[in-house]
Amino acid sequence: MFQLLQKASQFIAPSANESAFEVFQESYQTVLANIKNGEKSSDGIFVGALNEVQSCLTEEIENEETPCFDDFVGNSVLQKIADSIDESLPESRLEPLLSFFLSFVNTVLNRYFLQFSVNRPFTQLLGKLDSINLIDSTETTKFVSTLWEVIHPSPVMLEMLNIDNHFPLFDYLFKLALLPDVSYNFAREALLTILDSNSNSNSFEEQNEGNEEKVKREKFPEVFFEYIKNNFFPRTIEFILRVTENISKDQFTSEFLIIFNFLDNAIKYQSFECDSLIEKISSRPPSNRLLTSAFLLSSFSSPFFLQKISESFQTDSFISAIKEALDSDSQHDNYAAILFLKVCMMCNEVLNNEKLVNELIPPVNKEYADVLSAIPPEWLLFDEGSASMKSYIDDASSRIVFMSNSIDYKKLNNDSSENNERKNGQSDSVYDHLIKILSKFNKMSINAFLSLSEVIVLFVAFQPDLISKKLEEMFEDAVKQYESVHLVSLPTQGAEDSPEVRASLLAEFAKEIHATFIAAERAKAEKESNKNNDTLLESE
């Protein structure tokens, strides 16, 4: 629309007997008089006058004398235009006005940008972006995106856009960065660009869009990083708290995942003050507390952040929250605890926290139990194929290798007096509460049991000696609920729940546990063999 009006305005020529200066004055007066005029008939006149103002200022840019610009400044024209822009501005006026302001950064008129008479009204316009957005969000986003693209290579110009130590452009980027819309990716990239430049050098490399070459840029001022830390990171905490207030496993769309990925990258650059986040999460009900914690562990990768989060899990109140959720009659509470434990067992920061792991896993007495023997023989009589024991053992070996890269469990559950008491039948670890859920198998959904079995399998891969009499007893309770079943049925997609399907799930679980034992014993034997070979080589 604006381009069409520009062409039309070319036919609105000034009178021949008028001087260029008089035309300039009449033009900006026309702009000021019609800025709030919403009549369609005035659109061409308004755009033509605005074009004339820009043209006159541009034509004298190389001259020693600049009467038009002097008059423009003396009458505070740009300031008056900025003052007139608010939510009552007609929509047809917004695009040409924003383009006019941009001409002071993306045309030869940028020579005037650092002058107070231009810079100040420009910055005040940025302070009105929220109001402007209500008029036309598309044009506002386009304006901000273009402004950032043009101005960010010059940190000096960017630093000039502040009012009383506030950067309204940054404030608006903060807002856009946390909105689930791919059109705001530029805002997220802008903030990461600033954070990425925070290095010891005086310059940094930035990737050119559509070009593999990197361009060296001047480093951004330290004040930018402090502003992000003090103003954006608190918004990040509020955002996380808001989106996890009623968290569920399927609530996040791909747009939200883009934000989480951005935040993960953002908090890597500076120490993220997460104490207030942890404190507020700790006051939530157990199920929400666990689901939110699982979300944080799975969505962020900053070692500092994950370490701080995992340290909060070792408190008595948090351990009690896990046990309370596991013991609850609510399947939602059970699921929250199971999901949390599943994520924990896949997180090195958690597994390297010996104090926390000692709360999760009980002391072991190496009283191995044959869980597979609890299954009726007829449950195991179906075609082996890809479900052969070899494939189970291979999978178990992979899990054990993964777990072996975490903390050495020999360091865990040592012979302290506290752990000796736990070994003497007084164990009350999280794992003890976890396996008790097996006794409620007939009341669980199939998906809930699959999650439960996955977690238990991870626990025993981490510490194979957990395949104990206690696990066998809990498993037998689940099997007894379906002892009348003689023919099992492997679950297929869309299959209905039935005793036969549940019996097959129990059989699969038993095979996974049994395979873990075999894989662990083989790993021990191989380790012992390698140790003996090393001893022989040393003796030679």
pLDDT of residue 435: 96
Checking if the pLDDT of 42 tops 50, the result is yes
Nearest 5 degrees, angle CA 477-CA 481-CA 485?
Answer: 130
Checking if the pLDDT of 232 tops 80, the result is yes
Across the range 435-458, mean pLDDT stands at 94
Tell me the per-residue pLDDT of 341-362, one tens digit each, with 9 for 90 and over: 999 999 988 888 888 889 999 8
Coil vs helix vs strand at 28: helix
pLDDT of residue 509: 95
Coil vs helix vs strand at 405: coil
Residue 331 lies in a domain: no
Q: 203 forms bridges with which residues in the sheet?
A: 218
Task: List C-alpha distances in Å: 442 to 66, 327, 477.
Answer: 87, 16, 10
Tell me the per-residue pLDDT of 466-513, one tens digit each, with 9 for 90 and over: 999 999 999 999 999 998 998 887 766 666 889 999 999 999 999 999
Residue 259 lies in a domain: no
* Alpha-helix runs per DSSP H in 43-90: 43-59, 67-74, 77-84
Checking if the pLDDT of 3 tops 70, the result is no
Checking if the pLDDT of 200 tops 50, the result is no
Residue 275 lies in a domain: no
What's the number of domains the chain is made of? 2
Radius of gyration of the chain (CA): 34
Task: List C-alpha distances in Å: 57 to 97, 103, 515.
Answer: 16, 11, 81
Checking if the pLDDT of 5 tops 80, the result is no
Confidence band of 394 (pLDDT split at 50, 70, 90): very high
> Which pTM does this prediction carry?
0.82
Domain edge (last residue) among 97, 131, 165: 131
Sign of CA dihedral 156, 161, 164, 167: negative
Q: Identify residue 12 by its one-letter amino acid code.
A: I
Checking if the pLDDT of 100 tops 50, the result is yes
Q: Identify residue 402 by its one-letter amino acid code.
A: F
Domain edge (last residue) among 131, 165, 198: 131
Checking if the pLDDT of 116 tops 90, the result is yes
pLDDT of residue 83: 96
**Which domain covers residue 8, as residue numbers?**
1-131
Dist. CA 221–CA 355, nearest whole Å: 42
Dist. CA 319–CA 124, nearest whole Å: 52
Confidence band of 17 (pLDDT split at 50, 70, 90): very low
Domain edge (last residue) among 131, 146, 178: 131
Dist. CA 57–CA 26, nearest whole Å: 14
pLDDT of residue 25: 96
pLDDT of residue 30: 95
Across the range 49-73, mean pLDDT stands at 95
Across the range 19-30, mean pLDDT stands at 94
pLDDT of residue 115: 92
Q: Which of 128-137, 243-252, 453-462 has the lowest mean pLDDT?
A: 243-252
pLDDT of residue 13: 46
488: which DSSP letter? -
Helix 2-9 × helix 91-106 angle, to 10°:
80
Residue 260 lies in a domain: no
Residue 319 lies in a domain: no
Measure CA 402 to chain center: 25
Dist. CA 339–CA 295, nearest whole Å: 9
Across the range 425-429, mean pLDDT stands at 71
Tell me the per-residue pLDDT of 69-93, one tens digit each, with 9 for 90 and over: 999 999 999 999 999 999 999 999 9
Residue 283 lies in a domain: no
Residue 126 lies in a domain: yes
Mean pLDDT of all residues in the chain? 85
Confidence band of 536 (pLDDT split at 50, 70, 90): low
Residue 380 lies in a domain: yes
pLDDT of residue 414: 47
Dist. CA 241–CA 263, nearest whole Å: 14
Checking if the pLDDT of 336 tops 70, the result is yes
Coil vs helix vs strand at 483: coil
| 509 token code pair | 């679980």
